[in-house]
């Protein structure tokens, strides 16, 4: 959360009126629609938290895996299986060599020791170069998100099988939208976005979604979750645990994997996030939190010699929450501000031109969006003063 000085330096129509040069450089904090019943932030709200800076990774080449983004958590870097185990917690028995891990047929699946949920997952896999078998018996494995929802791994290159069992399938539920497979033996790339189902009191709040890119081609498009999927049986929507491991399947084929990493995703509105379309209750709570933060910071920095800063800080908080004592104090300061302008001599007034116009614009914004009374006397007085001084006329 910004300090009051930063609020005022950035300005809203509530902004750097005390520091005019900053206002010119950065523009207003608010000049779009204010918060509403489902959005705690104004349009273009500069109090809204900034996105996290992430250094991008690099793309893989056939002979060399790429590097993950700076905030990614590596699950396999090509050197060992120390982060993996069997379903019974024993050391992972798969083979590691030349920068990849390989299924040892008959040894069983493996899973990560780490548990996580909503994520962006990157994983590269390769079916055996020597083609053996057909259908589901050819280069078969699986990527199990949270240990339960399977994204199919299969050598689907010129290999016919049931549609919801191809590579890129949400297995048993959604066939892939396309089959952008490279020939067997070559590396295939999965980029997966997973959002788990969220339930409250046994009822769905958010069903969860699966998006999958295979070799850069969209094969699952924000698919609504219908349970974990599986072989032959139809699964139904239902809750998932809070977290779970990533599991890889042993299906009897020496499938290879490399360059496995994930990025945790921020919470959705249904899971406590504040970006997006929120419930009225969540929106109100966040708006109150922001308003209280602004009021607290304004109180700490308020000085008698700078009543404009206090006025604008308090008025900024009214954009988020109409609080009676704050509103009364802000309106009293506005009246004092206008009175102080009227006491200036004709020689002193021109220096207040830009400040007065910015304060006037702030008052107009707050009146327009019903944060100040429709008949707000300081606004009318400022309008009259600006008109008398010709301050809204274009300079020649």
Return the pLDDT at 307: 81
Return the pLDDT at 233: 82
Q: What is the pTM of this model?
A: 0.85
Return the pLDDT at 292: 97
Domains, the chain, ordered by start: 4-51+274-389 (no CATH), 73-271 (2.60.120.560)
Return the pLDDT at 74: 98
How far apart (Å, rounded) are the C-alpha atoms in residues 238 and 341?
65
How far apart (Å, rounded) are the C-alpha atoms in residues 214 and 234?
25
How far apart (Å, rounded) are the C-alpha atoms in residues 310 and 303?
8
CA atoms within 13 A on the CB side of 286: 25
Return the pLDDT at 30: 67
- What are the mean pLDDT values of the chain's consecutive 10-residue runs (396 residues total)? 35 35 43 94 92 96 95 97 97 97 97 97 96 90 97 96 97 97 97 97 94 98 92 88 97 97 96 92 96 94 80 94 96 95 95 94 95 96 95 70
User: What is the 8-class DSSP label of residue 350?
Assistant: G
**What is the dihedral sign for C-alpha 360, 361, 366, 369?**
positive
How far apart (Å, rounded) are the C-alpha atoms in residues 336 and 101?
73
Return the pLDDT at 31: 81
Q: Smallest Cα–Cα separation from 115: which of 240, 224, 228?
A: 240
Return the pLDDT at 17: 34
Two structure tokens written together for 204: 């769905």
Say which residues have a Cβ less than 8 Å from residue 376's Cβ, sequence separation at least 6.
331, 334, 363, 366, 367
Cα dist. 303→16, 36, 306, 307, 372 in Å?
17, 32, 5, 7, 24
């Amino acid at each position: 959360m910004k300090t009051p000085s930063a609020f005022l330096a950035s300005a809203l129509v509530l902004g750097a009126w005390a520091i005019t040069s900053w206002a010119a450089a950065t523009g207003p904090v608010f000049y779009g629609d204010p918060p509403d019943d489902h959005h705690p932030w104004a349009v273009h709200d500069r109090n809204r938290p900034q996105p996290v800076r992430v250094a991008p990774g690099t793309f893989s080449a056939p002979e060399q895996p790429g590097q993950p983004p700076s905030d990614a958590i590596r699950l396999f870097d090509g050197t060992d299986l120390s982060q993996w185990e069997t379903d019974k917690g024993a050391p992972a028995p798969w083979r590691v060599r030349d920068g990849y891990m390989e299924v040892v047929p008959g040894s069983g699946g493996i899973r990560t020791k780490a548990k996580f949920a909503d994520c962006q997952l990157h994983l590269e896999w390769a079916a055996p170069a020597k083609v053996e078998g057909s259908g589901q018996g050819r280069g078969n494995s699986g990527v199990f998100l949270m240990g339960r929802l399977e994204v199919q791994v299969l050598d689907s290159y010129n290999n016919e099988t049931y549609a919801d069992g191809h590579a890129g399938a949400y297995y048993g539920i959604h066939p892939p939208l396309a089959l952008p497979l490279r020939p067997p033996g070559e590396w295939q790339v999965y980029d997966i976005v997973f959002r788990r189902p969220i339930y409250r009191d046994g009822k769905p709040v958010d069903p969860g979604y699966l998006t999958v890119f295979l070799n850069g081609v969209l094969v699952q498009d924000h698919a609504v979750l219908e349970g974990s999927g599986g072989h032959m049986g139809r699964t139904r929507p239902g809750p998932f645990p809070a977290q779970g491991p990533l599991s890889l399947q042993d299906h009897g084929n020496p499938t290879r994997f490399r360059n496995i990493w994930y990025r945790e995703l921020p919470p959705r509105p249904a899971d406590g996030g504040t970006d997006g379309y929120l419930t009225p209750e969540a929106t109100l709570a966040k708006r109150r939190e922001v308003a209280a933060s602004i009021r607290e910071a304004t109180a700490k920095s308020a000085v008698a010699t700078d009543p404009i800063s206090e006025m604008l800080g308090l008025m900024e908080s009214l954009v988020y929450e109409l609080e009676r004592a704050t509103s009364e104090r802000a309106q009293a300061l506005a009246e004092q501000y206008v009175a102080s302008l009227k006491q200036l001599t004709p020689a002193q007034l021109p220096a207040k031109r830009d400040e007065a116009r910015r304060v006037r614009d702030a008052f107009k914004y707050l009146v327009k969006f019903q944060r100040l009374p429709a008949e707000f006397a300081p606004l009318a007085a400022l309008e009259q003063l600006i008109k008398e001084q010709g301050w809204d006329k274009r300079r020649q």
